[in-house]
Amino acid sequence: MGAKASTRRPNAAWESLPSPEERMGQAIELMMSFADRTGLTGGRPQRRYLWTDAFAVRNFLGLGRATRDERHTELGLELVDCVHGVLGRHRSDDPRTGFISGLDADEATSHPTRGGLRIGKELPERRPGERLDARLEWDRDGQYFHYLTQWMHALDQSARARRSPIFAAWARELAETAFRAFTYVIPGTSRRSMYWKMSIDLSRPLVRSMGQHDALEGHVACLELQATGSELGRPAGTGPLLEEAAGFLSMIETHGLATADPLGIGGLLVAACRLAQLEHEGFVRPGPLVEALLGAALEGLVEYADRHELRLDALERLAFRELGLSIGLHAVALMEQLAGDTPDRSRFSEEARAHLSSLARYAPLGRSIEAFWMDPEHRRTPTWVEHRDIDEVMLSTSLVPEGFLLRIPVK
């Protein structure tokens, strides 16, 4: 079926965008609905999915800070425990039982991320020796590296919100586990690569190709965890992730980062924003990576905008992918603030500042995406309903992005 143009102008709802207070209220409503629907509150069976839950944790923490309502913060921390209790264990339809780390109950409770965390897909993982069906693999369980990095950041924000070395240790253990399981040295070379998807027990790759931005996300996550560990006072015997950060950095090819996928563009902008914050706080020396990320994001955004995909009907659009871009455009606004607050020009190169200026011109695109998916009519389509949990959580992130984008201060 060919793409059908919508009769609705994509920018028609800009002027009806909600006020900051209304955005907060709508974000809270979306998150409380998600909490009830997925068993975090209300007594329904637990329905956990790692990507969605990682966004949800940060949303709850951000809402808690913004409203000063401890109830939201506690929901975020309760969700951490729920995820570890469900996605840190084998599936109910798996002959294996217990924790996927192989640890006994006491050890697994103390180290819930040592074996990684399942994705939470509906279908069981592909069996050893079973032929790969690329279409079906999207619906099969296992472990995704880029989901694990999202959870590392959720744990890092939890550690910062509670000034808790325990959450920080769990995040570091997850980074160490993921580096060991997903990366490898290419035979006959000294170069390192990584797998995109691993089995639940991390014993075998399920998809051998390397994700376009996986190494980047791993590198940024390690830098963030190093900084938080330093601020909290790293417990004895825990490493600073220097080997892991360097290993991921060695795999980043800056000339191959550009993408026209809206979720990927948003990811580049978020990574740049987190690096810029670390540089601004003095935890990372200013370098060329932020400039490269902004340049790659701009290249992809120009191509994406030229495709006019936002003129399609809701039936032909995926909300969570578009919302990834609108969240990334919020990151551009935050980086502009950082650049304005930084008298030392070396922290943002002239080229980086030029990229930021160009990217800022696309802010209306983000507002258009939010306005489109705030429309109740568009949230009744099968594509929204099928992905309702992730769509609603990421819409909430876009409405109130601070918990996701801003490093929570360690008081």
pLDDT along the chain (411 residues), means of 10: 35 58 96 98 95 98 97 98 98 96 96 98 96 95 98 98 95 98 97 98 97 98 96 73 96 96 98 96 92 98 95 96 98 93 73 96 96 96 97 98 96 72
**Domain end call among 252, 283, 307:** 252
Residues 204 and 298 in one domain: no
E-state strands within 99-213: 143-144, 183-185, 192-194, 197-198, 205-207
If one counts every other C-beta atom within 10 angstroms of the C-beta of residue 188, the result is: 6
**Residue 18: its pLDDT value, please?**
78
- What domain count does the chain have? 3
Residues 146 and 204 in one domain: yes
Is 365 contained in some domain?
yes
From CA 201, how far away is CA 369, in angstroms rounded?
38
Is 94 contained in some domain?
no
Residues 291 and 238 in one domain: no
Residues 122 and 80 in one domain: no
**Domain extent at residue 217:** 111-126+138-252
Query: Encoding tokens for residue 99?
Result: 């924790």
**Residue 16: its pLDDT value, please?**
56
Q: Compute the Cα dihedral for 67, 68, 71, 73 and give only its sign.
A: positive
**Residues 273, 84, 230, 227: what is their CA dihedral angle, to the nearest 10 degrees?**
-10
Residues 298 and 372 in one domain: yes
Q: Model's pTM, two decimal places? A: 0.94
| Cα–Cα nearest to 193, from 175, 177, 212 | 212
Is 257 contained in some domain?
no
Is 132 contained in some domain?
no
